[in-house]
Amino acid sequence: MRRLLPEPAAGADPFADPYDAYGDQPGLRLGMVMSVDGSVTDAEGWTDRLGGEADFRVFRTLRALTDAILVGAGTVRTGRLGPARLRGDLRARRGRPPAPTVVVSRSLDLDWTLPLFTEAETPTIVVTSRSGRRRAPAHVQVVAEGGDDVDLPAAVRALHDDLGYEHLLCEGGPALATALIRASLVDELCLSIAPTLLGGPRHTRLLGALDAEVPLRPTALYLDEGVLFARYRLRT
């Protein structure tokens, strides 16, 4: 991984290793990959073929660094999101088991037999409303905030204050990412830009509608195997 910005001093770049490059975590980091023409899904409607091995390295690193991984129920319903695992080298650096996946859902219309819910080394948690919590099976830990709808700011606070998750990583999808940005909960966007134009009918945009323009402050840019890794701050 080559750092382009901030321009490295002459000699070895101390941030060439993603674990060091992304080590300064904010409270809530949004990490997603998209094609240059703005699609977050590949031709199969998933993300695996977008960023290749370079993006997987950063993806795995962001997971290894964080305290909890937030995902929207829509991404879980693709059936392709497995339980968080840690490779040996990352486990050694992290020094603790994988971060739990935290699924955000109003409906709790989820397949509870998925390995995400049955095989996770660190059990998967669900964030929903107080009225929704009765739809979760007894063995799943639930964070319930808000009456009939999920109160996202309260849920993020509860993850921090009650469960001790200081650093959160949201991996999308677009609907959850949009809701978090609209609620001003995202501190940093880590965007991997895959060197491809996908076009095609199955083009899923990075975000939905926002209430207002959100200015971004670029803080770093890296290049690895043609993939650009951009970091932006949302709140200062």
Ligand X SMILES: NC(=O)c1ccc[n+]([C@@H]2O[C@H](COP(=O)([O-])OP(=O)(O)OC[C@H]3O[C@@H](n4cnc5c(N)ncnc54)[C@H](OP(=O)(O)O)[C@@H]3O)[C@@H](O)[C@H]2O)c1
| Site residues for ligand X per CB under 6 A | 32-34, 40-41, 45-47, 72-75, 78, 104-107, 109, 150, 152, 171-176, 179, 204
Q: Three-state DSSP class for 142?
A: strand
Nearer to ligand X, 96 or 157 (CB): 157
3-state helix, strand, coil split of the chain in percent (to 5) is: 25, 25, 50
The pair of three-digit structure tokens given for residue 165, joined into one six-digit string: 């998750």
Tell me the closest approach of the beta carbon of residue 93 to ligand X, in angstroms: 23
Q: Three-state DSSP class for 41?
A: coil
**Pairing, β 28-35 against β 2-5:** unpaired
Q: Which residue has the tokens 């703005």?
A: 38
Tell me the closest approach of the beta carbon of residue 13 to ligand X, in angstroms: 26
Nearer to ligand X, 160 or 182 (CB): 182
Q: Three-state DSSP class for 34?
A: strand
Nearer to ligand X, 9 or 212 (CB): 212
Nearer to ligand X, 78 or 184 (CB): 78
Tell me the closest approach of the beta carbon of residue 202 to ligand X, in angstroms: 9
Tell me the closest approach of the beta carbon of residue 109 to ligand X, in angstroms: 5
187 vs 184: CA distance, rounded Å: 8
